């Protein structure tokens, strides 16, 4: 029998109705079998761990990501798989960050949550938890990746983005197909799932927090860029550009980016589009950025770009090596 650790960080999924007041409140993870007795029918042992405090995922931050990675490191030999219950708002950031922090992962780490609290009749949380645990404890298909399970689909976590605040199919992976679909059966797409590494797990314990996302928009002005570039200690900018990596071509914009790069700030170009890739040099509007040494994020999501920068700038000291790592496909986050 497989052993699965369910880690509860917070979010909508964990809300149940107080039997006396009827109000929604976070549930006690130790009572998971009381809340979901059907879990006893799964062919695995389930242990639980609850973060203290549990948080709305809007409060997610680098410290919690490092604690999550540390917890997985501590429990790695005791369990066959991990299921993390998490709010949906920043789930894609967490999945992306964990994928970078956990190198040579040979066990499934599946993050799930819900749009409706577990304590509500039509909750999607029930199915999401059950399927996530079933996938994490599968005896024939091993998924050695950090994934998100949501809306009957298993995704590579660092390829996802939250797309819908209303419907149960909340997550989208525009540049990489889902790894499995749940219907009457669970159909796995083996050729899309990473293969196991013949190396032991390496868990990193550093993240650089001095990184921002700057979204290019028609009102962008020199003074805005200048304020950002002058943020003390800023180390990295994820520049969300239009389409295939295009940005304003006027002098002030390019000069500002040049100033940033000269100050030692690493700049990565990612697209605002939910699918497709940055192709610097395709239009004149991206040639300038390319010539200044802006790194192409290719088809990376903004969530993965931010956390990749946090990871690379936090764990590699040499500038040349940082740039190489940012260009490299580290955990399946970009298509080569």
CB of 7 to ligand ASP, least distance (A): 15
Candidates 1, 34, 58, 141; binder of ligand ASP (CB under 6 A) is: 58
Considering only the stretches 8-16, 131-139, 174-182, 269-277, report the one whose residues sit in contact with ligand ASP under the rule CB under 6 A: 8-16
Rounded (5°) CA angle 252-254-255: 60
Q: Which helix (H) or strand (E) holds 295?
A: strand 295-296
3-class SS of residue 297: coil
Interface segment toward ligand ASP; rule CB under 6 A; list 7-15, 145-153, 205-213, 319-327: 7-15
Q: Is the dihedral of CA 263, 266, 271, 277 positive or negative?
A: positive
> Strands, DSSP E only, in 124-279?
146-150, 153-156, 161-162, 171-172, 180-182, 186-188, 202-203, 211-215, 236-241, 266-271
- By CB under 6 A, residue 173 contacts ligand ASP: no
Q: Does 307 bind ligand ASP (CB under 6 A)?
A: no
Would you count residue 288 as binding ligand ASP (CB under 6 A)? no
Four-CA torsion 35, 40, 44, 46, nearest 10 degrees: 30
User: Per CB under 6 A, does 117 bind ligand ASP?
Assistant: no
Report residue 308 as tokens: 């990749």
Q: How many residues bind ligand ASP (CB under 6 A)?
A: 11
Omega of the bond prior to 213 within 30 degrees of 0, cis?
no
Tell me the catalytic residues: 12
11 binds ligand ASP (CB under 6 A): yes
Q: How far is the CB of 5 from ligand ASP (least distance, A)?
A: 20
Q: 36 vs 203, which CB is nearer to ligand ASP?
A: 36
8: closest CA among 63, 39, 59, 47? 47
Report, in Å, the least distance between residue 93 CB and ligand ASP: 11
Report DSSP state, residue 327. Answer: H
Query: Contact at 8 Å (CB) between 115 and 93?
Result: no
Binding segment (CB under 6 A) for ligand ASP, from list 26-34, 54-62, 248-256, 313-321: 54-62
Tell which one of 89, 145, 303, 333 touches ligand ASP (CB under 6 A): 89
113 binds ligand ASP (CB under 6 A): yes
Among 5, 12, 203, 265, binds ligand ASP (CB under 6 A): 12
Is 57 near ligand ASP (CB under 6 A)?
Answer: yes
Q: Which stretch binds ligand ASP (CB under 6 A): 4-12, 239-247, 271-279, 292-300?
A: 4-12
Asked whether position 61 contacts ligand ASP by CB under 6 A, the answer is no
CB 310 within 8 A of CB 97: yes
Cβ–Cβ < 8 Å for 236, 266: yes
Residue 14 in contact with ligand ASP, rule: CB under 6 A:
no
Site residues (CB under 6 A) for ligand ASP?
10-12, 56-58, 87-89, 113, 115
């Amino acid at each position: 029998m497989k052993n699965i650790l369910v880690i509860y960080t917070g979010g909508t999924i964990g809300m149940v109705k107080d039997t006396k007041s009827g109000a929604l409140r976070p549930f006690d993870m130790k009572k998971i079998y009381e809340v979901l007795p059907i879990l006893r029918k799964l062919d695995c042992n389930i242990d639980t761990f609850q973060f203290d405090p549990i948080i709305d995922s809007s409060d997610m931050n680098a410290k919690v990501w490092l604690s999550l990675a540390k917890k997985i490191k501590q429990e790695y030999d005791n369990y066959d798989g991990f299921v993390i219950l998490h709010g949906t708002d920043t789930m894609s950031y967490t999945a992306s960050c964990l994928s970078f922090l956990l190198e040579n992962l040979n066990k499934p780490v599946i993050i799930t949550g819900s749009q409706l609290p577990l304590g509500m009749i039509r909750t999607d949380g029930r199915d999401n938890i059950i399927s996530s645990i079933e996938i994490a404890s599968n005896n024939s298909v091993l998924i050695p990746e950090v994934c998100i399970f949501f809306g009957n689909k298993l995704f590579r976590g660092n390829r996802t983005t939250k797309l819908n605040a209303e419907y149960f199919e909340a997550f989208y992976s525009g540049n990489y197909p889902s790894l499995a679909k749940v219907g009457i059966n669970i159909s796995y797409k083996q050729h899309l799932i990473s293969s196991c590494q013949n190396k032991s797990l390496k868990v990193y314990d550093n993240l650089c927090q001095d990184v921002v996302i700057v979204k290019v928009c028609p009102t962008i002005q020199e003074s805005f860029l200048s304020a950002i570039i002058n943020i003390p200690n800023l180390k990295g900018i994820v520049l969300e550009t239009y389409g295939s990596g295009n940005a304003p071509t006027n002098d002030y914009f390019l000069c500002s980016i040049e100033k940033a790069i000269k100050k030692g700030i690493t700049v990565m170009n990612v697209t605002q589009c939910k699918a497709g890739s940055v192709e610097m040099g395709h239009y004149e509007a991206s040639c300038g950025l390319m010539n200044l040494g802006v790194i192409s994020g290719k088809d990376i999501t903004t969530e993965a770009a931010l956390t990749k920068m946090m990871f690379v700038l936090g764990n590699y000291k040499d500038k040349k090596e940082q740039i190489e790592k940012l260009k490299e496909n580290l955990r399946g986050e970009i298509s080569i």
